[in-house]
Amino acid sequence: MKKFFKIKNKCGMDLSESEELFHGLGQYAQKKLGFNKPPTLHLVSDGDNASKPLGKTAYYDPQGMAVTIYTDNRHTKDILRSLAHELVHHTQNENGMLNDTGYHGEGYAQKNKDLRQSEKEAYLKGNMCFRDWEDSLKQSKPTIYNEWRNIMSTKNWKNNELMENLTEKFGFKMDLGLLKEAKQFANDDSLDGDKDGKPKWADPDDPVNKEEKPGEDDNKDSEKEEEETSKKENFKPKKGQEPEHLKKAREAKNESRIMKIIKNEIRKQLKERK
């Protein structure tokens, strides 16, 4: 472990799991904030302060170049966020920006304009520096939990957004499960032998419709002929009535056209998102 800070652990806090994080954040903050020398880090305990709901959490000592953090009953992450905030004050001090003239008493963040500005910067840069460090750490060393959670939440978010856009576009709520079924249909040999998107009952080119039926001998020719004649008769549309096979073909065609429109829309939206 590369030690960045000189840590004075005066609170007896167990650092075996977290010391690495203090040094890591310090190193990251130095690069981001641009301070020169690491400040000394004091970790302290103060029961009296801890019992106050709005007690002190941390402060920076510009003369001693030291950060002091009160650790009682605090989450490690919260302590680290305090550290990031105080490191901004340390940077301000190194740059001569920490104005030590003027009012320093109660309410200095409201009454002293310069200190108010320093405080604003510390909250903004400190918190964002902490957040960026945290995210970079999780991305470089993702635990299974973090990885999975990130993938799932992104996926859910994307799907919800996609659904909303589609609903807006077509004016009704779409069931994306239907697309899955359509895909299954295209992959199912028993429904579409040549996989051209046309179901076998609407596709004269489908192998099923071209296959010679095995086991039929010459003696049955007349039977076959008869069969075919009756089939042909079925092809003749009765007045005012659409033949069943044409109806099926038309419906299948309409359906695949709708699927195509929906798929194109999804593709378009996925592209726009990139």
Minimum distance from CB of 121 to Zn ion (Å)? 9
88 binds Zn ion (CB under 5 A): no
Q: Provide, rounded to whole angstroms, the least separation between the CB of residue 85 and Zn ion.
A: 6
Give strand pairing partners of 42: 8, 68
User: Quick one: 70 exposed, middle or buried, by C-beta within 10 A (0-12, 13-18, 19+)?
Assistant: buried
Q: Which is nearer to Zn ion, 84 or 182 (CB)?
A: 84
Q: Taking Cα atoms as reference points, which of 36, 44, 52, 45 lies closest to residue 4?
A: 36
- CB nearer to Zn ion: pick between 42 and 198: 42
Dump the DSSP string for 201-218: GG-TTSHHHHPPPTT--G
Which residue type is seen at 106?
A: E
Minimum distance between the CB of residue 179 and Zn ion, rounded to whole angstroms?
Answer: 53
Q: Nearest approach, Cβ of 90 to Zn ion (angstroms)? A: 11
Note whether 122 binds Zn ion by CB under 5 A: yes
- Candidates 121-129, 143-151, 182-190, 222-230: pick the segment binding Zn ion (CB under 5 A): 121-129
Nearest residue to 4 (alpha-carbon basis) of 80, 70, 109, 111:
80
Contacts 24+ apart (CB under 8 A), 33-38: 33/87, 33/88, 33/91, 33/125, 33/129, 34/91, 35/87, 35/90, 35/91, 35/94, 36/94, 37/65, 37/94, 38/4, 38/5, 38/6
Distance of alpha carbon 95 from alpha carbon 31, whole angstroms: 15
- Residue 265: partners with Cβ closer than 8 Å, 6 or more residues away: 166, 169, 170
Q: How far apart are CA 44 and CA 62, in angstroms?
A: 18
Q: Which is nearer to Zn ion, 119 or 206 (CB)?
A: 119
Cα–Cα distances (Å) from 141 to 127, 134, 144, in that order, read: 21, 11, 10
Nearer to Zn ion, 108 or 185 (CB): 108
Nearer residue to Zn ion within complex by CB, 81 or 198: 81
Rule CB under 5 A: which of 100-119 touch Zn ion?
Answer: 119
Type and span of the H or E element at 41: strand 40-44
Asked if 33 is part of the footprint of Zn ion (rule: CB under 5 A), the reply reads no
CB of 89 to Zn ion, least distance (A): 6
Piece in contact with Zn ion (CB under 5 A), picked from 26-34, 120-128, 190-198, 199-207: 120-128
Minimum Å gap between C-beta 122 and Zn ion is 4
Q: How far is the CB of 87 from Zn ion (least distance, A)?
A: 11
Q: Is 202 an interacting residue with respect to Zn ion (CB under 5 A)? A: no
Which residue is nearest to Zn ion, using beta carbons? 122
Please say which residue, 104 or 260, places its beta carbon nearer to Zn ion.
Answer: 104
With CB under 5 A, what is the number of residues at the site for Zn ion? 2
Provide the minimum distance between the beta carbon of 126 and Zn ion in the complex, in angstroms, as a whole number: 8
Closest to Zn ion by CB, 69 or 122? 122
CB nearer Zn ion, residue 122 or residue 262: 122
> Which residues bind to Zn ion, rule: CB under 5 A?
119, 122
